[in-house]
Amino acid sequence: MDFDSAIQLLTHSDGYALWVGAGVAIHLARAGDGGAPTWGEVARRLESAAGMPPSAGDFPKRLEECLKALGRARFQKEVRAATLAPLCDAVLRAGRRYQDPAHCVPPEVRQIAALGALANPIVNFNVELLTSIALASPGGPYAIRCFNPPVDELDGLPRTSVGSADGKRFRRAVYHPHGALESSGICVLAESEYASMHGTLAFELATHAAFASRLVIAGMSLEDGYLRSQLERFMPQLSGVVWFVGAGVRPDILDWSKAHGVEVVRVASWSAFWSAVGTELPSPSELDLVLSWQAMLAHAIDSLNPREYLATIDGFRRLGAPESQLDVWRRLAELAGISMAELQAAPSEVWDRTRRDILLPTMEAIWSLTVGAQAKAP
């Protein structure tokens, strides 16, 4: 199927199931001139932290060795630093960049929202929730469901809560079969963790969720063998699979796709893909987009700087803190445009000021789109 035909198929469909991966996080990070890593880059970072040479094996096997070398707490903190932290940085930088209330929602966020507007359910293989909020929140009530791996070593891992809009009445579901760092502090990445998922609902959830629907796959390489196995098993119970692929996809996976009836749609450039999505697919309302962007900014602040860190700020001032915690505060100071001296002197006040200043344009936009519009009405 050619690219234009695939976009028109999505545009005029009555909905589709959606799988997304690192490509969506990478696009979201561009809103703030930031970068989100591929899984290959995450694996190399963890191998470096573990003092291991880069490997060329499957990601779960490579990450299993990293987990053994680093231990659970260090492993998860490195994953958080490699995935969630830079995405939060980029979102907050975008919040600083788009300060005009009339144009406060970045185009990348609008495009991601358009991709998710007709999608239900959404299966997100990323291990953070910002991309899920971007996809689902502008389209009305939703609920996020995360797999919580059966691992006991969770103490000390920072976690923040995320709420879903109107959780008692929702029309779309967003699933995280690998877990999410903000929800449980942990995620499924290593080989032993994949093994623990065998026989669980989360392991087969991705394809079960697409039952009797057209499945659209974007921002994924399909290198996970268990996903290809599921598609082989359940393809007759789906209404077709459309997979958008860029350069660099393994030839053997493309051959597998052709052999199993997956419609491969070549993408000349991902910027062209997102431009077409934002232009051709139906867009949520402006108010829903602004509300979603405000939720993303607030979530990025809370996830980057969990509130429990405030309880340890006295130790940070008097005795110094571990380097990883100091990095959190340095990042907050940089993004807020304040000095470390100010932060050390009054962290709670700076925290509140940072939230207010970053969220102010969206608050003004919401007022203009609701109260202001009503006041102008005859």
- Do the domain assignments include residue 168? yes
Q: Alpha-carbon distance 344 to 121, whole Å?
A: 44
Whether 273 and 329 share a structural domain: no
- Do the domain assignments include residue 352? yes
| Tens-digit pLDDT string for the chain (378 aa) | 899 999 999 999 888 999 999 999 999 999 999 888 888 889 899 999 999 998 877 788 888 899 899 888 788 888 888 898 899 989 999 998 999 999 999 999 999 999 999 998 999 999 999 999 999 988 888 888 887 766 655 544 555 555 555 556 667 889 888 888 887 667 777 777 777 655 455 567 777 777 878 899 999 888 777 788 888 888 888 888 999 998 888 889 999 998 999 999 999 999 999 999 999 999 999 999 999 999 999 888 877 654 444 433 343 344 344 445 556 556 656 665 666 666 666 656 666 677 778 888 888 888 888 875 555 555
Nearest to 305 by CA among 363, 355, 359, 362: 355
Q: How many residues does the chain have?
A: 378
- Do the domain assignments include residue 290? no
Whether 351 and 219 share a structural domain: no
CB 266 within 8 A of CB 242: no
Whether 220 and 369 share a structural domain: no
Which domain does 357 fall in, by range?
307-376
Whether 187 and 243 share a structural domain: yes
- Do the domain assignments include residue 300? no
pLDDT confidence of residue 32: 93
Whether 314 and 242 share a structural domain: no
Whether 239 and 362 share a structural domain: no
Domain total for the chain? Answer: 2
- Do the domain assignments include residue 291? no
Whether 220 and 144 share a structural domain: yes
How does strand 215-218 pair with strand 119-124?
unpaired
Whether 156 and 246 share a structural domain: yes
Whether 220 and 314 share a structural domain: no
Whether 64 and 31 share a structural domain: yes
Whether 119 and 49 share a structural domain: yes
Q: Which of 229, 252, 285 is the last residue of a domain?
A: 285
Q: Which residues contact 170 (CB under 8 A, 6 or more apart)?
A: 140, 141, 142, 143, 164
- Do the domain assignments include residue 125? yes
Whether 17 and 73 share a structural domain: yes
CB 87 within 8 A of CB 25: yes
- Which neighbouring-strand residues pair with 142? 172
Q: Alpha-carbon distance 10 to 16, whole Å?
A: 8
